[in-house]
Amino acid sequence: MDDSRLLAEVPKHPLWLSAAAGGMGAGVPLPGPDETAPERPQPDVLLVEDNHINQVVALEFLALMGVNARLAKNGIEALAACEQAAPDLVLMDIQMPGMDGLECARRIRALQRDGKLPSFPILALTAHALDADVAASMEAGMDEHLTKPLDFVALRTRLQRWLQLPDTH
What CATH number should be reported for the domain whose range is 41-162? 3.40.50.2300
Residue 37 pLDDT > 60: no
Q: Quick one: which of 61, 59, 78 has its CA closest to 21?
A: 59
Identify the pLDDT of residue 121: 98
Residue 42, judged by CB atoms within 10 A of its CB (0-12, 13-18, 19+), counts as buried
| pLDDT, the chain, mean | 82
The four Cα atoms 140, 142, 143, 147 give a dihedral, to 10 degrees, of -120
pTM: 0.76
User: Residue 130: its pLDDT value, please?
Assistant: 86
Burial of residue 147 (number of CB atoms within 10 Å: 0-12, 13-18, 19+)? middle
- Domain ranges, ordered by start, for the chain: 41-162
**Which long-range contacts link 29-36 to residues 24+ away (Cβ below 8 Å)?**
29/168
Per residue in 17-36, pLDDT (tens digit) is 333 334 444 444 545 555 55
